[in-house]
Amino acid sequence: MEISILGSGSWSTAIASLLSENYDVLIYARNEEDADYINKNHKNRKYLKEFDLAENIKATSNLEDLFKNKYIINGIPTQSIRSVIKKFKPYISSDNVFINLAKGIELGSHKRISEVFCDELGDDISFAVLSGPSHAEEVIKKMPTAVVAASSDINLSKDVQKLFNSDWFRVYSSTDLIGVELGGAIKNTLAFGIGMLDGLGYGDNTKAAVITRGIHEMNRLLISYDANPNTINGLAGVGDLIVTSTSLNSRNYRTGLLIGKGYSMEDAVDKIQMVVEGIPTTKALYQLSLENDIDLPITLEIYKVLYENKNPIDSVSSLMGRSLKSEF
């Protein structure tokens, strides 16, 4: 069986390497030269370029080629997904199963990625998401990793679980699609904030406080959507938050770190030289919280730093000066 991957970034490349142990893989690269390079040199010249790729990983720059396969894995960043779906819509069939790797909330609509797919392709599509603490740089090295596969259809969730599971990549199943998607989105925003704290030179006490209250904020968001709050205690919540907010492999953490050190948002992103999903997601979450009257104080302060040029030190003061209350 051959599996298609939409996108050729670092996470798509690592997933291709994982799946190539059991399946043939076809990667879509928008640039024809990038696709040719993968086919000729068995390397991705832009991402994880130091790693060799298996010979059963092929690449194409023709979108239509992907949809002959049943499983279509999406590695396209959140804010580009809707426009790409419009391009491949003519090629899909009722047999296609979509598995999403991206994490975020769409600007403007404030919709989760599954909702964007349903908007464009209909409510009857087969859709699942793979999420959890999983740096591409470690997955491609076959370091033990655990993630969760979520779908509103438990049978599809279990199919995806079996598809990805290996001796070193453990997959759990879930039917809480909403909770897994929201957890994967807000953890990027929180990782920004924790990176900023480190950039400002604050210590472990401060970081522990923001992580803990950040988990509380994640819970509040899920409850407002009638998702399962237990999801936040799992891999798509606490697990993903830990790995994203404590590691230099995390582009969201690194961007926050640079902003804490005095870089502008634009200069920090330019230095990272990769898509930083948490920046637009922070704006979408902030707007969503206003529309639905959800209290997300940490997200609010991170938004003000990113989009209103608030000094991060002042944001810390704002959080510390909030009215006193019971912990739970």
Kindly report the CA angle at 32 between 255 and 36, in degrees rounded to 5?
A: 100
Measured CA to CA in angstroms, residue 111 lies from 101, 178, 243, 287 at distances of: 16, 11, 25, 11
Question: Under a CB-based contact definition with an 8 Å cutoff, are residues 160 and 99 in contact?
Answer: yes
Q: Which residues are catalytic?
A: 187
User: Which H/E stretch holds residue 145?
Assistant: strand 145-150
Q: At what angle do helices 251-260 and 177-200 cross, to 10 degrees?
A: 30
Cα separation, 74 vs 129, whole angstroms:
9
What lies within 8 Å, CB to CB, of 178 at 6+ separation is: 112, 222, 225, 226, 227
Question: Under a CB-based contact definition with an 8 Å cutoff, are residues 85 and 63 in contact?
Answer: no
| HSE-CB of 203 using CA atoms within 13 angstroms | 1
Characterise 3 by phi-psi region: left (phi > 0), alpha (psi -120 to 50), beta (else).
beta
Report CA dihedral (117, 188, 282, 86) to the nearest 10 degrees. Answer: -20
Per-residue tokens: 264: 């502008």
Length of the chain: 328
Cα separation, 109 vs 120, whole angstroms:
13
